[in-house]
Structures are given as structure tokens and as C-alpha cells.
Amino acid sequence: MSLIAIVGGTGLTELEGLELTESRSVETPYGAPSAPLEFGRFGQKEVVFLARHGKGHTVPPHQVNYRANIHALKQVGVKDIIAVNAVGGINAAMGAESLVIPDQIIDYTWGREFTFADRGNVLHVDFSYPYSEALRKGLLAAAATLGINVHDGGVYGATQGPRLETAAEVDRLERDGCDIVGMTGMPEASLAREAELDYACLSLVVNMAAGRSDGIITMEDIERAIHNGMGNVRAILAQWLS
């Protein structure tokens, strides 16, 4: 059976229900990943969990070593990755606590180490459809089984952070066609593609994006949405892995 990885983001720094068998510190040609890889069984499946921002949530989005994270997962034999991301909602239908399984990405990040193709190897991977349709369908089916409402598709706008956007920036993202906005979707997804790993994203909306609600975005609001919404994320992952 192939090895599955869950990359947990803000609000998901550990995978409840994972029968941990080993916590392994891995080195890669790109340095160390954000945290030791946690191996275990979840239901019927062999799973590796990686905390994208480190175990103590100390690594901000623009400083995540995405190359080391993806390379480490590849090194240990992972084939499929489910990435969990906290995002802001741009599309009015995607309010706080909504779940979205996006099908497209627009990349606005800059200055990140974003490719494995910079060591004399020229590589132009196809990225027309950035997410694995099989993994997306699997997550959608798991959500449907549980009766949890999930948006099937949407455009993930990946911004640089760590600050949140201005209202005008969110207007631009909306004009571009973005439905949700987050800081960690890229280059994680394209590195997975370069590494020939199947990858899909399960996004939890934790706030309406800048200028899309009355007032400003507070950490209290974000934390409340994480608290209320991560249970559904965990349930979908558990169902999908069962």
C-alpha cells in the first residue's frame, strides 16, 4: 500500500487518531523539513504527518522550507499528499468555517525557493490542473459520506504574507478569479508536481478576506473559526483514510 502524507497547517499541528509508530528527523539536499516526520497508522492506512509550520507553529508561511518538506516526503516513499490550509474567503459563498477543495491556483508568492529544477536540470512540468483529481474526488466522497458540506472546486490565490492583504489586493484577487486566499498553497503544490507526487488541498476558511466583512480581521475571529471548523477537517481525513 502506498504511503500517504498529511501536511497540516495552522490549526492542525498534529493528527489526532494517528497511532504513532515513529517520529523521524529527516535531512534532505535542501535542508531539514519543518518538523520531524511522524509515521503511524490511521485506520487501515500507513500515514506520515508533517506540521508545515513546525510542531510549535514557529515557521511563518514565507519561511517554510517547502522544498525540504516535499523532498523529505518523497524520500520516505510518499505517493499522495493531502495538504490542509487555513484560508481567507473571497467568494461570498465561502464564509468562515466553510470547507473548500480547490481545483485551481494562482500564484502571487515571490522570493521563495520554489523549484527543484535549479541544479542544472531543466524541467517544465505540466501544471494545467495543479491538484490530483483522484485525491480531490476521494476527499469529496468522504465529506459526502459524512454529510459535511464542502465546496467542490475554487481558485486558491497564494499570497506572500505574512501580513494579510489590503482590501484592494483582495479586489484584484477577485477580479483574477480567486475564490479563496492563503499563504501556503504555493510553492508546495508545484514542488509536489515536480516530485511526481499526487497532491490535493483541503482548505478551511477561517476569515472573510480583507474588505469582505465589517471591520478588520482579528486573530480571535480566526481562532474561533479554526476551533469550530477543524473538527470537520479531521473527520473528513479520518473518513478518507478509513
Which CB sits closer to ligand HPA, 11 or 138? 11
Instruction: Write down the least CB distance from residue 91 to ligand HPA, Å.
Output: 13
Provide the binding-site residues for ligand HPA, judged by CB under 6 A: 86-88, 159, 164-165, 181-183, 206-207, 209
Instruction: Write down the least CB distance from residue 215 to ligand HPA, Å.
Output: 14
Instruction: Write down the least CB distance from residue 193 to ligand HPA, Å.
Output: 22
Instruction: Write down the least CB distance from residue 205 to ligand HPA, Å.
Output: 8
The amino acid occupying position 237 is L
Q: Which parts of 64-150 fold into alpha helices (H)? A: 66-75, 133-146
Q: Is 153 left (phi over 0), alpha (psi -120 to 50) or beta?
A: left
Q: 3-state class of 23 per DSSP?
A: strand
The C-alpha atoms of residue 14 and residue 66 are separated, in whole angstroms, by 18
Q: Which parts of 31-182 fold into alpha helices (H)? A: 66-75, 133-146, 167-176
Cell of 209: 478576506
Which CB sits closer to ligand HPA, 60 or 77? 60
Instruction: Write down the least CB distance from residue 118 to ligand HPA, Å.
Output: 27
Instruction: Write down the least CB distance from residue 3 to ligand HPA, Å.
Output: 28
Q: Give the DSSP letter of residue 24.
A: E
**Chain residue whose CB lies nearest ligand HPA:** 88
Q: Please, which residues bridge with residue 28 across strands?
A: 31
Contact between 170 and 59 under an 8 Å Cβ cutoff? The reply is no
Which CB sits closer to ligand HPA, 82 or 183? 183
Which CB sits closer to ligand HPA, 28 or 104? 104
> Which candidate, 121, 113, 101, 102, places its Cα nearest to that of 232?
101
Which CB sits closer to ligand HPA, 72 or 226? 226
The C-alpha atoms of residue 184 and residue 109 are separated, in whole angstroms, by 9
Contact between 64 and 53 under an 8 Å Cβ cutoff? The reply is yes
Which CB sits closer to ligand HPA, 191 or 209? 209
